[in-house]
Amino acid sequence: MHKEIFIIANPTAGTQNAPHIAVNILNCLRKNGADAELVLSQKPKDAIRIAKELEHPQCAIVACGGDGTVQEVISGIKNPDTPVGIIPSGRCNDFARTIGIHKLRSPSKLAEILITGKTKLFDYGEVNGKKFLTVATLGFDSEVSRFVENHKLILKGTAAYLYGVIKVLLNYKPIEIKLKSDDETFEGKILLCATANTPFYGGAMKIAPQASPDDGFLHICIVKNVSPLTVIRMLLRVFKGTHITHPAVKMVKTKSVEIETAGSTNWICADGESLTQTPCKISIMPKSVRIICP
């Protein structure tokens, strides 16, 4: 058992019930003899500060929220051997989905996982020096992510993403990129470019079905410029990952990638957050974060 367990809960994540979930798990931890504390973040990026302040040898830091909260926690810790726990309670919980935690809703079961302390090293991505766990997006999916991020939607997960797709699609204009991976260069107009550490984003959309957060690679899905009708048709295939056979889709496997956009800077989003803008360099950081797993 870890000497201390700190839970950092995001009150604005998802349906805003993270503090309630965290309190239930906190009580379960304490009933089982764990020295556990709960801290609520107060504003965006606050979990980074809190994690920095709380981290010490023999502690575990637990993120209670969505992918963005987990991203902030791993951005705050300095020691790659500090265990990070996840209590999935955000709009999207795609990293938790990837490692098999997303279906666990019982406070006692989640507390049991945190207490047993079974850990595994996973990869994370880094874009212009900023960490991410799931998928770094550019183009259409980035604009959808920013729409969902900037609007207080009552919808959650995939439903929120699909609503964003409809709102963004009608006025979206393709962008022109130059992408240089380890082995090849791609230039052209695109709908989107998704650089994945995990298969899922947007709440279970399987944008990069071959991606795995422990294989030491980035898996890039490039969708070339297509019509809005084709976007809708292709969207239905993304849930099963079969879109990758479409002629407009190109998949690239690499350890790092450099991306430039012609004529303007464009946002890179990851884990439901706006992280940086083009030009950018994205790299995989193999086995660099220790996650508490089932």
Residue 151 sits in a domain of what CATH number?
A: 2.60.200.40
Range of the domain at 147: 131-286
Residues 148 and 282 in one domain: yes
Burial of 40 (0-12, 13-18, 19+ CB in 10 A): middle
What pLDDT, on a 0 to 100 scale, did the predictor assign at position 15?
Answer: 67
Tell me which of 71, 92, 117 is where a domain ends: 117
Is residue 294 assigned to a domain? no
Residues 151 and 57 in one domain: no
Residues 266 and 136 in one domain: yes
Q: What is the pLDDT of residue 118?
A: 86
Contact (CB, 8 A) for 245 and 209: no
Looking at the structure, do residues 181 and 210 belong to the same domain, yes or no?
yes
Whether 191 maps to a domain, the answer reads yes
Looking at the fold, whether 74 and 136 belong to one and the same domain comes out as no
| pLDDT at res. 102 | 73
102 and 137 inside one domain: no
| Domain-located, residue 293 | no
- Tens digit of each residue's pLDDT (9 = 90 or more) over 270-280: 998 999 999 99
Whether residues 172 and 271 fall in one domain: yes
* Residue at 291 is within a domain: no
- Distance from CA of residue 67 to its chain's centroid? 5
Is there a single domain that holds both residue 197 and residue 100?
A: no
B/e letters for 237-263, b = 16+ CB within 10 Å, e = fewer, are ebeebebbeeebbbebebebbebebee
Beta carbons within 8 Å of 273's beta carbon, 6+ residues apart: 68, 71, 149
Residue 105 lies in a domain: yes
Digitized pLDDT (tens) for each residue of the chain, 294 residues in all: 678 999 999 988 766 788 999 999 999 999 999 999 999 999 999 999 999 999 999 999 999 999 999 999 999 999 999 999 999 988 889 999 999 887 667 899 999 999 987 899 999 999 999 999 999 999 999 998 888 878 877 776 778 888 888 889 988 999 999 999 999 999 999 999 999 999 999 888 999 999 999 999 999 999 999 999 999 999 889 999 999 999 999 999 999 999 999 988 999 999 989 999 999 999 999 999 999 998
Q: Indicate which CATH number applies to the domain containing 73.
A: 3.40.50.10330
- pTM recorded for the entire structure: 0.93
Same domain assignment for residues 99 and 153: no
Indicate the pairing of strand 130-132 with strand 84-88: unpaired
Question: 83 and 19, same structural domain?
Answer: yes
Examine the fold and report which residue of 72, 90, 117 is the final residue of a domain before the chain moves on: 117
The model's pLDDT over 177-210, given as tens digits with 9 standing for 90+, comes to 999 999 999 999 999 999 999 999 988 899 999 9
104 lies in the same domain as 160: no
* Residue 142 and residue 65 in one domain: no
- Given 86, 117, 148, the domain boundary residue is 117
Q: Name the domain count of the chain.
A: 2
Domain annotation covers residue 195:
yes
